[in-house]
Amino acid sequence: MSIPCIKKEANAKNLTGDVMNNENYKKYAADRAKRSASALNCTKAFAVGGLICCLGQALSNLFISLGAGEKDAGTLVSVSLIFLGGLLTGIGVFDKIGKFAGAGTLVPITGFANAIAAPAIENKTEGFINGVCTKMFVIAGPVIVFGTLASAVYGVIYYVLTQVAQ
Amino acid sequence: MDYLKAFLVGGAFCLIAQIFIDKTAVTGARILVSYVVAGVALTGIGAYKYVVDFGGAGATVPIVGFGYTLAEATKAAVDEKGLLGALTGGLSGTSAGIAAAVVFAFIWALIFKSRQK
């Protein structure tokens, strides 16, 4: 953010009678900082998320060229990215990329892998049953529950519609 | 061209999530859940197929694609075995992904130690 821009708006506020005192300015600056941080975050998320999808596309093309059907290739891409996301979580790299990319690593399937692998590894000290196996589903649990629920509801609606159509 | 489309579509999903995170302080878990449900809903109304046709991996790699797989598999299962398919389809279609995530996570937990923060 350029300084002249801030000055100009500050003056404009003064003209309308709103005194730009210290507190006002702090609020204004914080708001500005938040907005520019958000724009930067969004750019990073877009770029990293896009790149992960490009990697997915490359893997998909690779699996298809190796003779996999399109559907199987999609499944293999998911499995590969889940493998990669978990591995990077284990060696501590995922956290670093995640801090930089925000939603860019969360939204691709790598984020799902991280959401399972990270609590599994972190809670190892609590034992395998109560630590690893239980905590594994802290975030994945809700995702699977709501996903299954939504697909079951869709299945029933779809069934009713096909019956009505006949 | 495939790569550009995948980049744009996949990036856009991440961008939208980032806006939600920045503006509403919503947690990552809620984003994941919302995206999966949105994926099922968009596939159900027939819209997401076009996103997949256009974006390729850009549409299937984001977690919305998990919802897409759930819904497509449910539809196929209902076509095949009727109402029972509403229960069997979703998890059958996504079984590889869920099993991979669980099996790999268990292995990573065996291999790696938790980091002190």
ipTM for this prediction = 0.93
Domain residue ranges in chain B: 2-111
- The encoded tokens of residue A71 equal 């559907």
Chain A nearest CA to B67, separation (Å): 6
Interface contacts A/B by beta carbons within 8 Å: 273
Q: How far apart are CA A158 and CA B79, in angstroms?
A: 9
Mean pLDDT of B72-88: 96
Q: How much of chain B exceeds pLDDT 90, in percent?
A: 88
Find where tokens 């939204």 sit.
Answer: A107
CA dihedral A105, B110, B107, B116 (to 10 degrees): 0
The sign one gets for the Cα dihedral A93, A95, A96, A102 is positive
- In A57-122, the DSSP E strands lie at none
Higher per-residue confidence, B11 vs A23: B11
Find where tokens 């449900």 sit.
Answer: B37
pLDDT at A2: 45
Residue type, A59: L
pLDDT at A108: 96
Q: What residues of A are in contact with residue B90 (Cβ under 8 Å)?
A: 147-148, 151-152, 155
B24 to A42, A44, B20, B29, B72: CA distances (angstroms)? 14, 18, 6, 14, 31
Find where tokens 């009713």 sit.
Answer: A160
Tell me, yes or no, if the pTM score tops 0.90: no
Question: Mutating which of A43, A77, A81, A107 best tests the B interface, going by the most B Cβ atoms within 10 A?
Answer: A107
In this predicted model, what pLDDT tens digit does every residue of A44-81 receive, in sequence order? 999 999 999 999 999 999 999 999 998 899 999 999 99
- Eight-class DSSP state of A131: I
Closest Cα in chain B to A53: B58
The sign one gets for the Cα dihedral B107, B110, B112, B113 is positive
In this predicted model, what pLDDT tens digit does every residue of A97-152 receive, in sequence order? 999 999 999 999 999 999 999 999 999 999 889 999 999 999 999 999 999 999 99
A20 to A2, A36, A75: CA distances (angstroms)? 18, 21, 58
In this predicted model, what pLDDT tens digit does every residue of A5-19 receive, in sequence order? 444 454 445 444 556
Domain residue ranges in chain A: 3-135, 140-166
Cα B9 to its chain centre, rounded Å, is 14
